[in-house]
Structure 1
């Protein structure tokens, strides 16, 4: 005998919870369905905009900003494991006891996968910079050099302005000896710095997708694909020709020459028209 599906009531309308098809189906109108995939997963449940006139998602393009929102409402439903623990246990081949206290996101995690290591084992992602390993630590808001307690590492608050939206990456000057971010005087530099290199690495949301979601309040699985999630990255050291530093050096040298030329011209004029000293008044 087929098990009767549990229901969830949304603004006075009962919906069957079908965890196998991953959808809600209106009890009195089986053709009216809402896919769980079209809802925003926020860790402790799912959020979506609901239109009470059609008992379904608010149609795309319908604006609540116009004031005509008396028929729509933001809805939040619990995790499916709470709505239908029997169905979820069967779906993931677990016992009720094994899924008790877990979220839908946690049930999808494969043991030993990168998500398992990051979410359950709390292992931080790493970034290789010029041969040295850094921990991507969003809680401390920095890239921490492994086994180097003398270095303060790279403070993420100091490099926010160095994110290049065109390349979708951070491009920063870096000192390999101190293992720290080190600014370059762009307006004064006249030769290539010997102690500095320029490195390029992805946005923090890519370096630590799970940590980024936690820190900024997204659902734990937001934009995460288990088969593509990485826990180790490598920064690219850019050749000088791929940076704006050579061009700035050229401009600064030209400006220095111009200033020097102006000084020489001013000196010539002062020699031709020396400042006359005023004598004492009678």
Structure 2
């Protein structure tokens, strides 16, 4: 049986507390939604506009217990339930860097060095975030880069001349730095170490996605290059070979 969700009244307006989506919906106007992204986390509650509300474990303890499959949430905070505590402990207290697996090879997410540092490969320069800045896709909210699985490095393509898919490289997709290591991101920015962790989450291991070249931007680049090269070929003047005036002459007359 579906239960009635709790109601919180904010200055005379009733809002439904929905922990399944971490949002407040106005009871009389369901289109008026306040999401967790709209709120500022103040540790023991949230602030948005002029309102301050308690944590979700206090607004709907039953819903939070059901969502996270915990019988007793006494003394628990939103942070305790919404953030992977094992992953948080490894990163903060044990200093273990997150791992990003790219095509079977592990990389350390090392934001202090601004790079993805390959495990057990000191000949590789790794993947430097500054060098792949232009490869962040707003559409998928992730990086999509050309990657050399033999050297374990990002490898730039010759976009001016490329006319076919590279045989020795693959395209790989992985999240932005803040998602890969939100703790390191907060430290580097001088923010509170727990800032946005409820939204972003904390993970110890990631798997990069291999993307077929056909589903990247590369086919459009190749198509434009082939078209341009074809046009340039047409513009080239046709040079005819020069034939001798008399092909039958074998020598000079004395």
- TM-score band w.r.t. shorter chain: 0.5 to 0.7
Q: Deviations over 1:136-163 (max 9, x none)?
A: 0001111000011111100111111211
2:192 maps to: 219
Whole-angstrom CA distance in 2 between matches of 1:171 and 1:58: 37
Aligned to 2:34: none
Is 1:190 the equivalent of 2:181? no
For residue 114 of structure 1, the aligned residue among 64, 81, 87 is 87
- 1:59 corresponds, among 45, 50, 58, to 50
Flag the 1:233–1:107 CA change in 2: closer, same or farther, 3 A.
Answer: closer
Partner of 2:20: none
* 1:205 alignment partner, SS class: helix
Contact 2:82 2:198 in 1 (8 A): no
Structure 2 length as normaliser, TM-score?
A: 0.62
Q: Which residue of 1 aligns with 2:130?
A: 157
Report if the CA contact (8 A) 2:84-2:203 is conserved: no
Change (3 A) 1:111 1:121: farther
Distance 2:93 2:82 in 1: 9
Structure-2 residue corresponding to 1:127 = 100
User: Structure 2 matches for 1:57-96, cutoff 5 A?
Assistant: 59=50
State the alpha-carbon separation in 2 of the partners of residues 39 and 112 from structure 1.
Answer: 18
Equivalent residues in 2 for 1:227-242, closer than 5 Å: 228-242=201-215
Alpha-carbon deviations, 1:157-198, whole Å to 9, x = none? 111121111210001111111111111111210122112111
Map of 1:170 onto structure 2:
143
Pair 110,248 (structure 1): closer, same or farther in 2 beyond 3 Å: closer
Secondary structure, counterpart of 1:225 in structure 2: helix
1:262 Cα deviation after fit: 0.8
Matched position secondary structure for 1:247: helix
Whether 2:148 is the aligned partner of 1:148: answer no
1-structure distance, mates of 2:121, 2:163: 32
Deviating above 6 A after TM superposition, structure 1's stretches of 4 or more consecutive aligned residues are 104-112
* Counterpart contact for 1:109–1:115, Cα < 8 Å: no
Please, which runs of 5 or more residues in structure 2 have no aligned partner? 1-38, 52-73, 243-254
Contact 1:199 1:236 in 2 (8 A): yes
The correspondence for 1:210, drawn from 162, 183, 188, is 183
Structure number with bigger Rg: 1
Task: Summarize deviations over 1:217-259 as a string: whole Å, max 9, x none.
Answer: 2211112139952110011111011112122112211211111
In structure 2, what is the Cα distance between the partners aligned to 1:106 and 1:225? 6
Confirm whether residue 180 of structure 1 aligns to residue 132 of structure 2: no
Scaled by the length of structure 1, the TM-score of the pair is 0.56
Distance 2:210 2:83 in 1: 34
Residues 9-54 of structure 1 show CA distances to partners (whole Å, capped at 9, x for unaligned) of xxxxxxxxxxxxxxxxxxxxxxxxxxxx95646xxxx9x9xxxxxx
